[in-house]
Amino acid sequence: MPSVVTLVDRVLATVDASASEIVDFTSELIRVPTVNPPGEAYDDCARLIGDRLATCGFDVEYVAAEGMTEHTAAHPRVNVVGRRRGRALRPAVHLNGHFDVVPAGEGWTHDPFGGLVRDGRIYGRGACDMKAGIAGAVYAAEAIRRAGIELHGSVEISGTVDEESGGFAGAAYLARHGRLNAKHADYCIIPEPLNVDRICVGHRGVYWFEVTTRGRIGHGSMPFLGVSAIEHMGLILDRVHRDLLPALRSRATAVPVVPDGARHATLNINGISGGQPVDGIQTPCIADVCRAVFDRRFLLEEGFDAAKAEIQDLLNTTATETPTMRYDLRDLMVVHPVRTPQGSPVVSSLERSVQKVLGRPATQVASPGTYDHKHVDRIGGIRDCVAYGPGILDLAHQPDEWCGVDDLVNATKVLALSILELTATV
Ligand SMILES: [Zn+2]
């Protein structure tokens, strides 16, 4: 039986020998413009990934998000799942990547859907977020096979839709329908672009809500005869500014969220509108309605109930001081924070692999925003889930998005070594 060192070296050499194929596959994926919204060319991209997985020895299944309103004839939501079992079914590692991308936007100097490779970089919308990660996952598993190693356990790889819009027809759908859950997999790695030496162990929570104040319309020349909903919203915003924001800034999480500012609880006002505009022209009346949308990111230590109660208290206090004020609070979206358990084998394995491949220690981080980890954990029940993949986080969603070829090759090696390790023992 060959030594472990020999196996590892064989796998690393195989990834190096496959480098141009991994880069080419990333470019091919970029050339399928899977723009979300509205969700273009999902079927084509699912087939491209599925065909490659089949070539690499996977059993492939396509899972359309039947029953979801976003799954339409014009924009079908098609996910793909591949499974390759070793001598046994378990342990199993699932690698999940979303193949939807945000719109290209302005400011590009290269074709966003050209997949250009120049000076060691692959350019295009989705290059780092996260088509390179999908290519890396596929070729990590393939390198093990080409090195002639039969795994003890299984590898699953899925390509999913709609992460950029919540992932409900994508990772959440697979988790709910038994394709991405603890019944089949022990570990999950999501190769999102978080920098090649960082392991992401979770994200903060989201409480997205709308506040509407309601007044009474009247002639603008006699404001004393009506009730201005905008003035009342102003009182709420003033209290947010004076009381809430300083309180949020004073709270910090023990979870290693990056960048530093996101270690604290935050609140952003996404938008505000009021009055009675008609075709963009404001009527000369007292504003009888005003709406504002708020984006509160809460910490694991705060929890959703406390975050919401704090908002309700603020609104109640303001209304108590202002007897004519009427308001509604409406929840738009709630995402609970997730955190990979301390001492999780998926983290320690990736730490060892990063050290081996890059020759430096990995850093644990958590994401300021949310991604598909929540679905894998809360719906799929796979607690041992992290994000680790090629690419620089700051380049995601930017013009001239790119992923370094060296990052891609290194991340593929790290993923391959961790697949090898995590499927070896229960
Ligand atoms: Zn992403």
- Is 100 annotated as catalytic? yes
pLDDT 10s digits, 300-357: 999 999 999 999 999 999 999 999 999 999 999 999 999 999 999 999 999 999 999 9
Average pLDDT, the chain: 96
Output the CA 225–ligand 1 centroid distance in Å.
52
Determine the residue type at 242: R
pLDDT 10s digits, 167-194: 999 999 999 999 999 999 999 999 999 9
Output the CA 190–ligand 1 centroid distance in Å.
9
In the structure, ligand 1 is a single-atom ion and the residues with CB under 5 Å from it are 129-130, 192
Question: Of 335, 381, 44, 388, whose CA–CA distance to 167 is shortest?
Answer: 335
The residue ranking higher by pLDDT, 99 or 2, is 99
- What's the chain's length in residues? 426
In whole angstroms, give the CA distance from residue 193 to residue 390: 5
Output the CA 133–ligand 1 centroid distance in Å.
9
Crossing angle of helices 405-422 and 132-146, in 10° steps, is 50
- State the pairing for strand pair 277-278/266-274: unpaired
Output the CA 36–ligand 1 centroid distance in Å.
12
State the pLDDT confidence band at 3, using cuts at 50, 70 and 90.
low
In whole angstroms, give the CA distance from residue 402 to residue 124: 6
In whole angstroms, give the CA distance from residue 182 to residue 90: 11
Q: Is the pLDDT of residue 281 over 60?
A: yes
CA distance readout (Å), 367 to 372, 373, 411: 11, 10, 19
- Is 70 annotated as catalytic? no
Output the CA 353–ligand 1 centroid distance in Å.
22
Output the CA 164–ligand 1 centroid distance in Å.
7
**What per-residue confidence (pLDDT) applies to 426?**
41
Q: Is 91 in contact with 67 (CB distance < 8 Å)?
A: no
Task: Extract the tokens encoding 235.
Answer: 């009182």
What per-residue string of b and e applies to 127-156 under the rule 16 or more CB within 10 Å gives b? bbbbbbbbbbbbbbbbbbbbbebebebbbb
**What per-residue confidence (pLDDT) applies to 5?**
61
**What per-residue confidence (pLDDT) applies to 277?**
87
Output the CA 371–ligand 1 centroid distance in Å.
7
Output the CA 191–ligand 1 centroid distance in Å.
8
Q: Which of 100, 156, 231, 288 is an active site residue? A: 100
Predicted model pTM? 0.91
Contacts of 356 (CB under 8 A, 6+ apart): 8, 417
Q: Is 304 in contact with 214 (CB distance < 8 Å)?
A: no
DSSP assignment of 95-118: EEEE--B----S--SS-TTS--EE
The secondary structure of residue 260, as a DSSP letter, is G
Output the CA 192–ligand 1 centroid distance in Å.
5
**What per-residue confidence (pLDDT) applies to 279?**
87
Q: Which of 43, 129, 156, 163 is an active site residue? A: 163
